[in-house]
Amino acid sequence: MDKLPLIKHLRYSLSFPSVTVYHCFMGLVGGISAATLILIFRFLVEFCQHAILGANKDFTTLPGWANFILPLSGAVLILILALTMGVKYYRLGIPFVIYRVKFHHGLIPLRNTINQFLGAALSLICGFSVGREGPAVHMGAAGSAMIGHYLRLPYNATRIMAASGIAAGISASFNTPLAAVIFVMEVVLREYKVHMFLPIMLASACGSIMSRLAFGESHTFEGLDFVILDQLHHVPFLLLSGVIIGCMAALFNQLLLICMRSGQKLPFSARILTAAIATGVLATMFPEIMGTEDASLGLALSESPGMTLLIGVFVGKMVATVLAIGLGIPGGIIGPLFALGGLAGMIALQIMLPIAPDLASHQGVYVVIGMASMMGASLNAPMAALVAILELTNTPAVIVPAMLVLISAQLVASQVFRSRSAFLTQMELQRLPYQISPVVLNLQKIGVQAVMRKDFVLLERPDDSVIQHALERSGDRPVLLINQGDQPWRLATADSTQECGYLLEPMPELSVRRTLGDVYERLSKNRRGAVIIHAGDTNTPIGVVNWQHLTQRLHTDLG
């Protein structure tokens, strides 16, 4: 493969942090791979749910004993799967993917991905209160980055491919291409760069197209009869509902934190079985809590739902979700947050009805903007939540009321209750680092091929006079001494303070797939020296990157 000029040129071009047709092409390839994997996952889940629940896929139609047995059976199968694949490969979901993108260039172990695919399918089929966006993010990143790894692309390119796969996975799951792009930029990468933005957008569009071809053109909530709030006297009620939802989002995050801390003291099997038993018990009382969000939102959108039932389902759904996510059931958090937000929006509406009876005609609006507000306030991702609701409803007029509720909910959760993103909380409790130096973050976008020097001088077993002569004739070209036995590669630099007239420094070795961030971490301690670059064979150097290269890039706009 390395002998093919096209592949070599592809790798070289992808090492630059610039907008090229190669970046877009690899984003498209990664998007197709990720979307294909997600569509297979969706077909598997929907086929099994249809077999168990019938055409309506409604858990509320099951008898009480079945609502208890189904989660318990799923937990046993998840345990068997995890023990077979290895419990150490049971780190799954969005927090794990964020960590792998930041610190491992988006590359995800295969066994983790198998655990995620089959484990999340079992969770969704058996009615746990988890979402499908967690598996979409995990499998999308893994499916796309795996191609980059197979082609031995530079690690800065595999990181972009992983991000593209995440966008394609979310888009293929929910048919929300713009929200998928915003989610990747706002939650996963937490930065906006044009050379990343274009391939991610292309992959997201690809995921949406494939989803529409497989499942049709419809948007999840576009059939709702929205009566949009267009009068100024509604603004105080919107802000008040945001305050209520912000309090509920902060409560959810705090309960999740407590559950995860307590769960760390339990054995793995005890955590999974506890979540299953609790889900089963709650489902016998409130079957609407089962599944991701369909049954709960169906209740919230039903005609005149009782306040007691709304509160009961909301509490049951929150407890079931906290236990499922906090104790390690494979699945995502956004779907259940949508359900809780829809219920919270309806509860807020019911509280305000005695003051403003005319709000009764705006039930659909309050449910939908409650979904966006709960997600935005809990995950600290207001833009992604807002755009997701816009695409799910296909109704632009919902933007302004949703913005008002989102703002008040976000401020209450973050400023009053000091609530942080649920993803960051999960990462901290799992001891997954997420903060990275801005210098290293910028240098990670550049492959070593983009700056390495190939015009170096190689010396084998030289004496002092040969080294001095080479330094005099080399100009600014690096002079290297070939490694011999236990001796590493060494860099020769002229130094009049030395008796021999030069200084020899050991040179670390790095693969050609590495980034300047890796070079910086090797050289930053002494702030001098160089790194030898090889293409898999440590005896055949192909380039040199020295500290001067890094200082030049640190003072350059990296795009």
Tell me the per-residue pLDDT of 201-242, one tens digit each, with 9 for 90 and over: 999 999 999 999 988 776 566 555 556 666 677 888 999 999
pLDDT at 74 over 90: yes
Is pLDDT above 50 for 558? no
- Predicted local distance difference test score (pLDDT) of residue 1: 41
Contact of 398 with 272, CB cutoff 8 Å: no
Tokens of 375: 């997600």
Q: What's the CA angle centered on 132, arms 128 and 133, to 5 degrees?
A: 135
Torsion-angle region of 509 (φ positive above 0: left; ψ -120 to 50: alpha; else: beta): beta
Collapsed DSSP state (helix, strand, coil) of residue 506: strand
Residue 189 corresponds to which tokens in the numbers above?
A: 């990468």
The answer to whether the CB of 265 falls within 8 A of the CB of 84 is: no
Q: What is the pLDDT of residue 311?
A: 95
Residue environment code for 11-49, b if the CB has 16+ CB neighbours within 10 A, otherwise e: bebbbbbbbeebbbebbbbbbbbbbbbbbebbeebeebb
Q: Supply the pTM of this predicted model.
A: 0.90
Answer whether 27's CB lies under 8 Å from 160's CB.
yes
Q: Cα-flanking dihedrals φ and ψ of residue 379, to 5°?
A: -100, 0
> Tens digits of per-residue pLDDT, 236-277?
899 999 999 999 999 999 999 999 999 988 999 999 999 999
Helix (H, G, I), strand (E, B) or coil at 515: strand
For 493, counting Cβ atoms within 10 Å of its Cβ (0-12 exposed, 13-18 middle, 19+ buried), the class is middle
Give the 3-state secondary structure of residue 27: helix
C-alpha span between 238 and 453 (Å, rounded): 60
